[in-house]
Structure 1
């Protein structure tokens, strides 16, 4: 069975959760006999790769604009383009996200044998970074994606609450996968690369860590305010990019109120060894995501044996259960930050518990086995459907 993965910016992963997922899935299916194609954002011809993790890479032919609004149109057009193009040579279209859910029917117009599977991601229409019109369109696209898709994937059991009960029969739970990272020592070339991001000294075991897209629904403002209120004498290291200049100005203004050593913004970091070094040596990891499902950065922090301080919502509790510390607002978070800073040893058991919970439930061996089972089922159903259609046709002919 030939499979096309559409809806991320492409692999190798250089952006967010869907890119990380596509990279992991292709890596773990590389030797399973599937021909996989991944849609990719435009890159100049001299920077393109034909294959990665055994998957064929197909690039959109137009450069992305820098303007935010035009960028959203660009991404939607790119997704529609690949829904049409890749339907012709692939039996299964796996679409990541719901942004063009109203167009999920397109592959069936160009390939009657194609099946469409959609990963509905999180509760996109509740994200405050979108205006009311965008939120309404996202909800419409979410609903239509679940109508047109043959199979619906939720990466969190809690996301089933956002699928119409009449569509639950075609809904499967398959989360993100995670690999156990190698341990990175705090020295050598990796530490030297950290110096290219900041001139401020960061010492192992003496900083809080946050890795996220810097948006309101990830509670960056709550975390920065709580950190300033806590007045601990270690820095907060923040990895990620802002998606709004207005929000960036708000956050930078809040950060100015923190006492030294304050907040250190490193921007986006895609150096895997550097990321692992920072995760594995922090005092605790702060996770503010609030509009789920399962977030890859939370899994990566957990598998790195961190004390997890997570926003209190059903998506984060599904991942960590009782193996994390939770907060609802900045006052609660400030209290937790001070308590962990004063006595981290009393929380150390949480590191081991959350590590084993994530290892047992979210390892790529476990997740890829689930996908292989699902792909086999889809292939068998498709073969049976067309054998039945061909028999009916022959009987009518006779």
Structure 2
């Protein structure tokens, strides 16, 4: 029997909310297969009890918190860490530096922690000055009280080494291939433009919406995502979809097969994320062969290399790059093949999960070595 692990900082298991949740959906059953005792902390109402993908070997523990934009991560992280400290697993996998404030609770109980630091949250436009300070202080607490960091991009690791003087393990996100799936009704293969993103400014959502009005003159434009809390960007895309029958807003899509189909048949997948690291949506799009136009960032270049086209975030440049690619079937096929090959070589869930297990097991062994004889 291998050790016990508590996974803290996601909405629960199985959840389809974001990248952390996707990783946990893959990792928790993998660890159970390898003999680990796995507990995933979550929130009430964030998962479905009747979800057929649920692995019954994975334990779920729900704690309380405040469901608000600014306090949900902090409050649910606190209650999860308190519960985990009482139960005392052999190791904890903690997601998000906002939970760095609560790492001293686990540290005081002698529980080693592997912390996925995510992106550079204090660079995100969606946060105000106070929130950015909160995240940066959380990162400092993480660097002091976290046992080992996980960076999902090499560039993130370099940033942490420079700003906080700590190293860690590079573990990206994974993707998985798929047999050919039926296309979304009303769309034609390689004839539509797709964006999949949470509605926050740093994902280039406002600029893409401006570009979508022009692109939709000649092509269908499919937008997947939401803010999760309503707001101006949701109102804007709702208005666009109401005014133009070629703009399709699908909201948040939790059905994996439907998302894979959308990426698989897209003429262009526009990826506008700018401040994360290795983005799970990008990796999954690559794995099923979506031709990609990505915002030109150090992170997107690290993941794509020569398997995509890069653009500035201006609506004019987005229109130009997307229009050229969707009108060039040979280029679409070329980028599709390159993306799938790169995903198979560098970004598979099997390899990602194995790296997480190695890192977790290393911390458990180190903790045993330092215990008093």
Cα separation, partners in 2 of 1:326 and 1:53, compared to 1, 3 Å: farther
Cα separation, partners in 2 of 1:130 and 1:320, compared to 1, 3 Å: same
Q: Distance in 2 between matches of 1:208 and 1:14?
A: 23
1:108-149 deviation line (CA, Å, top 9, x unaligned): 22x22x101111100111111111111111111112112210
Q: Which residue of 1 aligns with 2:265?
A: 281
Q: Distance in 2 between matches of 1:130 and 1:302?
A: 29
User: Quick check: 1:26–1:53 contact (8 Å CA) kept in 2?
Assistant: no
Q: Is 2:254 the counterpart of 1:248?
A: no
Which SS does the other structure have where 1:163 is aligned? helix
Which SS does the other structure have where 1:15 is aligned? coil
User: Quick check: 2:8–2:94 contact (8 Å CA) kept in 1?
Assistant: yes
1:128-182 deviation line (CA, Å, top 9, x unaligned): 1111111111111112112210001101101013214486554111111222233
Q: Is 2:349 the counterpart of 1:350?
A: no
In structure 1, the gaps of 5 or more residues are 195-200, 391-398
Q: Deviating runs (4+, > 6 A) in structure 1? A: none
Cα separation, partners in 2 of 1:128 and 1:71, compared to 1, 3 Å: closer
User: Quick check: 1:5–1:94 contact (8 Å CA) kept in 2?
Assistant: yes
1:187-226 deviation line (CA, Å, top 9, x unaligned): xxxx5xx6xxxxxx32333211111111111001111222
Q: Distance in 1 between matches of 2:330 and 2:47?
A: 52
Q: Which residue of 2 aligns with 1:54?
A: 57
Question: What RMSD over aligned residues (CA atoms) do the two structures have, in Å?
Answer: 2.4
> Shift of residue 256 of structure 1?
7.0
Q: Distance in 1 between matches of 2:143 and 2:236?
A: 37
Aligned residue pairs total 366
Residues 338-377 of structure 1 mapped to structure 2, 5 A cutoff: 338-377=323-362
Larger mean CA deviation between 83-92 and 349-358 belongs to 83-92
Q: Which residue of 2 aligns with 1:317?
A: 301
Larger mean CA deviation between 260-269 and 241-250 belongs to 241-250
Q: Distance in 2 between matches of 1:165 and 1:54?
A: 40
Q: Which residue of 2 aligns with 1:96?
A: 95
Q: Distance in 1 between matches of 2:358 and 2:202?
A: 34
Larger mean CA deviation between 151-160 and 267-276 belongs to 267-276
User: Quick check: 2:7–2:94 contact (8 Å CA) kept in 1?
Assistant: yes
TM-score of the two chains, using structure 2 as the length reference: 0.91
Cα separation, partners in 2 of 1:165 and 1:32, compared to 1, 3 Å: same
Q: Distance in 2 between matches of 1:330 and 1:44?
A: 35
Q: Which residue of 2 aligns with 1:86?
A: 84
Q: Which residue of 1 aligns with 2:118?
A: 121
> Shift of residue 79 of structure 1?
0.8
Q: Distance in 1 between matches of 2:203 and 2:46?
A: 33
Residues 28-47 of structure 1 mapped to structure 2, 5 A cutoff: 28-43=30-45, 47=49
User: Quick check: 1:230–1:335 contact (8 Å CA) kept in 2?
Assistant: no
Q: Which residue of 1 aligns with 2:191?
A: 206
In structure 2, the gaps of 5 or more residues are none
Residues 137-152 of structure 1 mapped to structure 2, 5 A cutoff: 137-152=134-149
Q: Which residue of 1 aligns with 2:222?
A: 237
Q: Which residue of 2 aligns with 1:222?
A: 207
Larger mean CA deviation between 124-133 and 242-251 belongs to 242-251
Q: Which residue of 2 aligns with 1:396?
A: none
Which SS does the other structure have where 1:104 is aligned? helix
Which SS does the other structure have where 1:359 is aligned? helix
Larger mean CA deviation between 145-154 and 35-44 belongs to 35-44
Q: Distance in 1 between matches of 2:72 and 2:319?
A: 41
User: Quick check: 1:284–1:308 contact (8 Å CA) kept in 2?
Assistant: yes
Cα separation, partners in 2 of 1:227 and 1:48, compared to 1, 3 Å: closer
